[in-house]
């Protein structure tokens, strides 16, 4: 780092490399006269690990304060694959997430929800937890394929369980929960420095739901909680972003798409897959006893999507004691019609009503978005056509 830059930043420690192995040297710096907000308890974090850690910690800390519930996030490549608060799981979701026989603390429940929403995307995640990691949560994390974790503290037994992951190299960060970000944040790209005020706006009922332009205006408490969850999640998701939420967890996140309708479709497809994993035929797939959890998860998604080549189909069938009957399009459509009470947030306004049309296919009943499009009237009319409640927050949540 140049001498002019080190007047403002203090070198803390070197990294193995940057985003890619050829981007070396790489290091972590803190602002002058400020300590890092975390300490490394185990492992050697990488560049992307720490980007995930800093973003995900802010997300779960904000969710915890807003919902007054333990919060968890599963991050991949600087966007959440899942995020959730500790809402109890019903028996069906316990079966979907394969945790029926496990002890579930509130924090463990939050992480199971965050990890379970999109498990294929969460493969190799960086975990953020808003409260002290207990033994029950560590036991849930123990078999998961994960790169690291950030939390405010760890119970002694939980810490030992996590230290044993990845042959002792699992990255464990202890964050200072009292650390306050500076008023300004800085970055450099291609020799150009950027500065902006930190996005310290706290999202909640006071600013998200003040203007409801739809004909139906009643918004129950659980819908508000889910919309706050979705909005806070998108605040730390690479834009453009759209997210679906239900029962205290994100069930579909569309991140980093240039087109907002692509975000809505991508997140909606993830939400559909999440819901279809609860179909009785999916829950009843006759796996061989030796098939591991990761392979079971992948096989269920392949079964739902059904777009395998002949060779892929042959390999897929090796997971089962007997070849299961296909999940037909009619069965999928019939099951998806049961989706309801889903909440949807967008980090910027919907420019066309097609986003609402897409949302209607995934059981969306409640929406929060900034508003401000020249076609707001068309979007409001679309929400009215489907009997949705939509709030205009007037708060854009772009994140890059």
Sequential DSSP letters for 59-81: HHHHHHHHHSS-EEEEEETTEEE
Q: Is 400 part of the annotated catalytic residue set?
A: yes
Q: Is 77 a catalytic residue?
A: yes
What residues form DSSP beta bridges with 29? 11
**Residue 240: active-site member:** yes
Q: Specify which residues 270 forms β-bridges with.
A: none
* Phi, psi (deg, nearest 5) at residue 172: -125, 120
11 is catalytic: no
Task: Select from 265, 260, 243 the least CA-distant residue to 63.
Answer: 243
Q: Are 202 and 365 in contact (CB under 8 A)?
A: no
Q: Report the distance separating Cα 161 and Cα 126, nearest Å.
A: 16
Rounded Cα distance, 159 and 173, in Å:
11
Contact, 390 vs 371, CB < 8 A?
A: no
Residue 25 CA to its chain's centroid (Å): 30
Q: Which helix (H) or strand (E) holds 241?
A: strand 241-246
Q: Which position among 55, 76, 226, 319 bears the catalytic label?
A: 76
Q: What are phi and psi of 398, to 5 degrees?
A: -60, 145
Catalytic one among 22, 33, 167, 400?
400
| Residue from 42, 49, 226, 240 carrying the catalytic annotation | 240
Identify the CA nearest to 146 among candidates 98, 114, 101.
Answer: 114
Please, how many CA atoms are within 13 Å of residue 142, restricted to the half-sphere of its CB? 14
Q: How far is CA 222 from the centre of its chain?
A: 19
- Tokens 């019903």 correspond to 90
Q: Any residues with CB less than 8 A from the CB of 95 and at least 6 apart, and which?
A: 283
Bridging pattern class, strands 71-76 and 125-129: antiparallel
Of 348, 329, 331, give the one whose Cα is nearest residue 264.
Answer: 348
Q: Hey, which residues does 252 pair with through a beta bridge? A: 244
Considering 10, 65, 77, 281, which one is annotated as catalytic? 77
Contact (Cβ atoms closer than 8 angstroms) between residue 251 and residue 271: yes
User: How far is it between the farthest Cα atoms of the chain?
Assistant: 67
Residues in the chain: 400
Task: Give me the sign of the Cα torsion angle 314, 315, 318, 319.
Answer: negative
Q: Which residues are catalytic?
A: 76-77, 240, 400
């Amino acid at each position: 780092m140049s001498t002019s830059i080190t007047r403002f930043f203090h070198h803390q420690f070197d990294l193995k490399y940057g985003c890619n192995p050829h981007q070396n040297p790489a290091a972590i710096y803190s602002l002058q006269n400020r300590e890092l907000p975390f300490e490394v308890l185990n492992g050697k974090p990488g560049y992307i690990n720490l980007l995930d850690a800093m973003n995900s910690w802010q997300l779960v800390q904000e969710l915890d304060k807003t919902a007054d519930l333990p919060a968890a996030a599963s991050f991949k490549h600087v966007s959440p694959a899942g995020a959730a608060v500790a809402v109890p799981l019903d028996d069906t979701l316990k079966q979907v997430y394969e945790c029926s026989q496990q002890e579930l603390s509130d924090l463990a429940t939050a992480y199971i929800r965050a990890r379970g929403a999109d498990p294929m995307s969460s493969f190799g995640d960086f975990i953020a937890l808003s409260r002290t990691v207990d033994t029950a949560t560590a036991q849930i994390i123990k078999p998961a394929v994960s790169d690291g974790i950030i939390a405010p503290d760890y119970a002694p037994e939980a810490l030992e369980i996590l230290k044993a992951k990845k042959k002792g190299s699992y990255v464990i960060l202890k964050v200072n929960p009292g650390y306050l970000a500076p008023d300004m944040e800085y970055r450099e790209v291609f020799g150009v420095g950027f500065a902006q005020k930190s996005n310290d706006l706290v999202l909640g009922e006071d600013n998200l739901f003040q203007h409801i332009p739809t004909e139906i205006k009643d918004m129950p408490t659980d819908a508000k909680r889910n919309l706050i969850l979705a909005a806070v999640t998108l605040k730390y998701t690479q834009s453009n972003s759209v997210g679906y939420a239900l029962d205290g967890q994100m069930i579909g996140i569309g991140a980093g798409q240039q087109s907002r309708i692509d975000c809505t479709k991508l997140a909606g497809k993830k939400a559909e897959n999440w819901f279809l994993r609860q179909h009785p035929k999916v829950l009843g797939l006759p796996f061989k006893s030796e098939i591991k959890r990761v392979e079971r998860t992948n096989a269920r998604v392949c079964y739902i999507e059904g777009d395998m080549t002949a060779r892929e189909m042959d390999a897929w069938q090796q997971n089962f004691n007997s070849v299961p009957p296909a999940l037909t399009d009619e069965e999928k459509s019939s099951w998806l019609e049961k989706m309801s009470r889903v909440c949807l947030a967008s980090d910027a306004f919907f420019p066309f009503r097609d986003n609402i049309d897409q949302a209607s296919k995934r059981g969306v009943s409640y929406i929060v978005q900034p508003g401000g499009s020249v076609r707001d009237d068309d979007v409001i009319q679309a929400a009215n056509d489907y009997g949705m409640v939509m709030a205009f927050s007037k708060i854009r949540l772009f994140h890059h």
